Structure 1
Amino acid sequence: MDAIVEVVALILGFLGWVMVGVAIPNRYWKVSTVDGNVITTSTLYENLWMSCATDSTGVSNCRDFPSLLALSGYIQASRALMIASVVLGTFGLVATLVGMQCSKAGGDNYVLKGRIAGIGGVFFILQGMCTMVSVSWYAFNITQDFFNPLYPGTKYELGEGLYIGWCSGTLAICGGICLLFACKFDTEEKAPYPYNPARGTVYSGAASRRDAASTYSRNAYV
């Protein structure tokens, strides 16, 4: 396993995991649009957990969503996917740290360590996919309402929280792919060829056995 690729993959996965933690509490997943408004007295913005408003004086007021079951289905699904992303990223970091060559946690069995690091790469890819699905689904609903001329409610635009989520998913997937390409899943190591000190040559399997048999047969007549 290439140690440099391991370190790069670990850094990418860690950054993706940190950015998931930044994106989840970020309040600006969607922000009310100013398109078509002559006078804007307040700005509305929401995330997965609360809805906020900022007036012209800069005072902000936030309220948590009162009921989980009363929320839209895509918000509930986005919450679950983002939480799953954090959990998968944690497993990926632990598996990668154990499976790295420079780590002593897995002993000296580099084949086993490579497999553990490969599992960490799979966890990173799953983390990135959960994050990408969550933020993309949320963004799809925002754009669907924005371009719907018959939508009666407040129209929103994409907030910075979604862009952080997209960056997080991209980093996690890249880190997982790097780990998978760096891992060697060899099941066994090749045994060295026997060395014949009398001739100074190396023989493999059947050839060495034939040479030994002929030597013993000649010695029997001495």
Structure 2
Amino acid sequence: MDPIVEVVALLLGFCGWVMVGIAIPNRYWKVSSVDGNVITTSTIYENLWMSCATDSTGVHNCREFPSLLALNGYIQASRALMISAVVFGTIGLFATLIGMQCSKAAGDNIVLKGRIAGVGGVFFLLQGLCTMISVSWYAFNITQVFFDPLYPGTKYEIGEGLYIGWCSAVLAILGGCCLTCSCKLGTSEKYPYPYQSKGTAYSGVAPSRSQGANSYGRNAYV
């Protein structure tokens, strides 16, 4: 594998992993919409863990969701997917660092290092897929409620936390693709077959002196 590709893939995966850590605690996953409201006295915004509100004076008030089981199913699934993305990204970072050619962790075995780097690329792909599914699923529910004319409650719009999650997923998928498509998994050098002619094979090894003349068959003297 090209060392430049390894470094680029590591940087992409690392940036994606950092952005996942930024997106998870971000409070602005969805923000209350002002569309159709004549007077807006407060702004409500939520993420996977809490709901917050701010009034016109700038005072913030946040409360965590009281019960996990009382939440909507997509919020629980998004939580699990985002936590899985952090775990996959951490494993992918360690595997990529070990499998890089400039690393001495796995010795000088190029084949083994390439396989470890490939495993790191797979974990980066899993990180990106988990993040993309979580963020897209959350955004789908926001838009579904927003465009429902019969919904009586507060409507929300997509917040900045989702955009950070999308960027994180794209970076992680790009880093994983660079590693998995460029590494050589277990390629070995192929040697030519020995010369064969009518049932005899030439091994390329000259007879030793210790064998002497007795090493020749009887037909050799005819």
Same fold (TM over 0.5): yes
The 1:34–1:211 alpha-carbon spacing in structure 2 relative to 1, beyond 3 Å, is closer
Unaligned runs of 5+ in 2: 214-219
Aligned to 2:113: 113
User: 1:139-182 CA deviation, whole Å, 9 max, x = no partner?
Assistant: 00000000000001100000000000000000000000000111
How far residue 190 of structure 1 moved from its aligned partner, in angstroms, is: 4.0
Mapped to 2, the partners of 1:145 and 1:210 lie a distance apart of 77
Give 1:210 deviation, angstroms: 6.3
Aligned to 2:195: 206
Looking at structure 2, the residues matched to 171 and 210 of structure 1 have their Cα atoms a distance apart, in angstroms, of: 53
Q: Name the structure 2 match of 1:63.
A: 63
Q: Tell me the matched-pair count.
A: 209
Q: Which amino acid aligns with 2:202?
A: R
Q: Identity rate of aligned residues, in percent?
A: 76
- Does the CA-based 8 Å contact 2:128-2:173 persist in structure 1? yes
Q: Which amino acid is 2:131 matched to?
A: T
Mapped to 1, the partners of 2:114 and 2:207 lie a distance apart of 43
Q: Partner residue of 1:86?
A: 86
Give the TM-score normalised by structure 1: 0.88
SS at match of 2:202: helix
Q: Any idea what SS the aligned residue of 2:195 has? A: helix
User: Which moves more between the two structures, 179-188 or 129-138?
Assistant: 179-188
Inter-CA distance 210–78: structure 2 relative to 1 (3 Å threshold): closer
Alignment of 1:164-203 (within 5 A): 164-190=164-190
Find the counterpart in structure 1 of residue 37 from structure 2: 37
Distance (Å, rounded) in 2 between the aligned partners of 1:132 and 1:68? 22
Runs (4+) off by over 6 Å? none
Q: What amino acid maps onto 2:66 in structure 1?
A: P
Structure 1 residue runs of 5 or longer lacking an equivalent are 194-203
Contact 2:195 2:203 in 1 (8 A): yes
Distance 1:213 1:116 in 2: 42
Which residue number corresponds to residue 5 of structure 1?
Answer: 5
What CA distance in whole angstroms lies between the structure 2 residues aligned with 1:92 and 1:49? 26
Q: Deviations over 1:32-59 (max 9, x none)?
A: 0010111110000000000000100011
Structure 1 residue 188 displacement after superposition: 2.5
Q: Distance in 1 between matches of 2:150 and 2:42?
A: 23
TM-score computed with the length of structure 2 as normaliser? 0.88
In the aligned structure 2, how far is the partner of 1:66 from the partner of 1:20? 24
Separation in structure 2 between the aligned mates of residue 72 and residue 185 of structure 1, nearest angstrom: 43
The residue type equivalent to 1:31 in the other structure is V
SS at match of 2:141: helix
CA distance in 1, matches of 2:16, 2:109: 29
CA distance in 1, matches of 2:104, 2:203: 43
| Bigger radius of gyration | 2
**Distance verdict in 2 for CA 1:119–1:210, change over 3 Å:** closer
Residue 186 of structure 1 deviates from its aligned partner by 3.0
